Amino acid sequence: MSGTNRREFLRAAGMATAAVMAGVTGCAAQPQSTKLESVAGIKPRNVVFILSDDHRYDFMGFMRKVKFLETPNMDRMAREGAHLKNAFVTTALCSPSRASVLTGKLSHRHGVVDNNTDIPKGTVFFPQYLQQAGYQTAFLGKWHMGGETDQPRPGFDKWVSFRGQGVYMDPLLNIDGKQQKVRGYVTDILTDLAVEWLEKGRDTGKPFFLYLSHKAVHAEFTPAPRHKGRYADAEVEWPASMADTEDNYKGKPRWVREQRNSWHGVDYAYHGQMDIREFYKQYCETLLGVDDSIGRVLKCLEELGLDRSTLVMYMGDNGFLLGEHGLIDKRCAYEESMRVPMLARCPELIAAGTKVEKMVQNIDIAPTVLEAAGLKIPAEMDGISILNLLRGRQETWRDAIFYEYYWERNFPQTPTVHAIRTDRYKYMHYHGIWDADELYDLHNDPTEMNNLIDDPDHKELVKQLNKRLFDWLEKTDGMLIPLRRDSGNQMNKQKPKELLVTIAD
């Protein structure tokens, strides 16, 4: 952030010192380069990035996964723009994924490996580059990185956030450094403030970047009052892999089946306090507010005459299992956990109905926005701009993506896992447990039911994927398993029922 922008922000927010702008973690580093080169052929564009929480890739109306689910505005984005069918996160957990979006880096490179780890000092967020190039920037919504603070972070001229996960109703917001209680439903409130900023809160002579970051659809799901009960009578079609049968778990790691009987399992969801059928329906109802938000932002851009030239992107910060393999939540490397929705619309750039088959990731957002702004992509970013994919011009692309999740003390049911996914195969390698790894042929087994890890015909493939996985870890300095300060044994909070019996067996 330049000195001029810092002073302007502090005057507008009425804050006394620049230390507040740095946040409690002291991460307000300056980008190393203050002169960024324009990318040939790219006109700097306004960009709106909308992020939801725990939205899995296939829960959109046009996907036809859930017959009763209605998402007209997501459907519109796919129809009028691009649907990136194979979008993934590098870590299926809120804070690591959100940090990857803002830095363009892998979890083990930016250091935010769980929901409790602070952002390392010196971290640079890509909106800081936009500010240097004359963009106005705004962040509205869930930050959830670097502890429980809601203080303004570097890179944003407009700031609206809340502490931690926040609440669905009547949130306490930090608006430009000042605490304010706002009555209403948080998805609608954040959208109201985003639309207000687009209409009245910015200098219309400058390009802008708006980051609208929703709490929804994070559990425990709470629909907007207008949507509550919308799907009360709907019939839920459960995934085949949810059944507790020997065939479903044949060849799978033991921890998967045993997690059924835990906080994140269908047999004891949230310590038995959650009816899994209502859980599913409330998830869908809560998602309707996010869809409404997208529609309102698109309508605002139309009314301002900016809808054809503005790049609007939507994605989820990670997926969410709803019964697959007997699990709920995310963290693991199954498709429903690591795969997310991603949509993009900009009629001047993207042909209507574009379908992108290539594998893209959350680390690709930062370089994409920078390129859309006509800026050079910093060499330290791990992601790749997807702008050419959106324009149908990219002929070569990555042939594999990598995934990492590190064991958490407060949710001990899911082990550390590193995974590699190609267009056809997925290999999952676990650390710290005496259990089976996993290999799936996604062409013939898209629901990941038949573990091929011990299949003699795939023995050589396992060796190849294992080598490639560790080559990637070595190349990206990811060979150390992070150890965090112990905040106390959490097993009493998360223990499965009959835990002692399970251990004794």
Per-residue confidence (pLDDT) for residue 426, from 0 to 100: 98
Per-residue pLDDT tens digits for 426-467: 999 999 998 999 999 999 999 999 999 999 999 999 999 999
**pLDDT-based confidence at residue 108 (cuts at 50, 70, 90):** very high
Distance CA 95, CA 73 (A): 27
Per-residue confidence (pLDDT) for residue 487, from 0 to 100: 60
Tell me the average pLDDT across 236-250.
96
Name which of 4-18, 21-35, 52-66, 260-274 the model is least confident about. 4-18
Beta bridge partners of 160: 140, 175
Number of folded domains that form the chain: 1
Q: Are 159 and 136 in contact (CB under 8 A)?
A: no
Distance CA 81, CA 94 (A): 27
Domain that holds residue 244: 3-15+43-398
Per-residue confidence (pLDDT) for residue 1, from 0 to 100: 36
In a domain, 492, yes or no: no
Per-residue pLDDT tens digits for 177-206: 999 999 999 999 999 999 999 999 999 999
Per-residue pLDDT tens digits for 383-426: 999 999 999 987 789 999 999 999 998 889 999 999 999 999 99
What is the secondary structure of 180-241 as a DSSP string? EE--SBHHHHHHHHHHHHHHHSS-TTS-EEEEEE--TTPSSP---TTTTTTTTTPPP---GG
CATH code of the domain containing 176:
3.40.720.10
Tell me the average pLDDT across 317-324.
98
Per-residue confidence (pLDDT) for residue 467, from 0 to 100: 98
Beta bridge partners of 173: 180
Angle between helices 276-303 and 72-80 (to 10 degrees): 50
Per-residue confidence (pLDDT) for residue 242, from 0 to 100: 97
In a domain, 471, yes or no: no
Per-residue confidence (pLDDT) for residue 30, from 0 to 100: 61
In a domain, 440, yes or no: no
**pLDDT-based confidence at residue 9 (cuts at 50, 70, 90):** very low
Name which of 22-36, 135-149, 171-185, 411-425 the model is least confident about. 22-36
Per-residue confidence (pLDDT) for residue 41, from 0 to 100: 54
Per-residue pLDDT tens digits for 348-388: 999 999 999 999 999 999 999 999 999 999 999 999 999 99
In a domain, 464, yes or no: no
In a domain, 109, yes or no: yes
Distance CA 202, CA 195 (A): 11
In a domain, 428, yes or no: no
Per-residue confidence (pLDDT) for residue 180, from 0 to 100: 96
When computed from its CA atoms, the radius of gyration of the chain, rounded to whole angstroms, is: 22
**pLDDT-based confidence at residue 299 (cuts at 50, 70, 90):** very high
In a domain, 34, yes or no: no
Tell me the average pLDDT across 25-39.
49
Per-residue confidence (pLDDT) for residue 42, from 0 to 100: 61
Per-residue confidence (pLDDT) for residue 116, from 0 to 100: 87
Q: Quick check: helix, strand or coil at residue 318? A: coil
Distance CA 283, CA 65 (A): 14
Residue 165 CB coordination number (10 Å): 16
> What are the φ and ψ backbone dihedral angles of 154, each rounded to 5 degrees?
-65, 145
Distance CA 440, CA 453 (A): 8
Per-residue confidence (pLDDT) for residue 24, from 0 to 100: 34
| Angle formed at CA 395 by CA 391 and CA 396, multiple of 5 degrees | 125
C-alpha dist (Å) from residue 294 to 35, 159, 213, 315? 34, 20, 11, 11
In a domain, 406, yes or no: no
What is the secondary structure of 114-156 as a DSSP string? SSSPPPPTT---THHHHHHTT-EEEEEE----STT-----TT-
Tell me the average pLDDT across 69-94.
98
Distance CA 502, CA 244 (A): 16
Distance CA 156, CA 379 (A): 22
Extract the tokens encoding 66.
Answer: 């859930």
Distance CA 129, CA 117 (A): 24
Beta bridge partners of 169: 185
Res. 307: pLDDT tops 50:
yes
Per-residue confidence (pLDDT) for residue 394, from 0 to 100: 75
Res. 492: pLDDT tops 50:
no
Per-residue confidence (pLDDT) for residue 270, from 0 to 100: 87
Tell me the average pLDDT across 478-494.
69
Q: Calculate the average pLDDT of the chain.
A: 89
Percent of the chain with pLDDT over 90: 81
Q: Give the HSE-up count for residue 462: Cα atoms under 13 Å, Cβ half-sphere.
A: 16
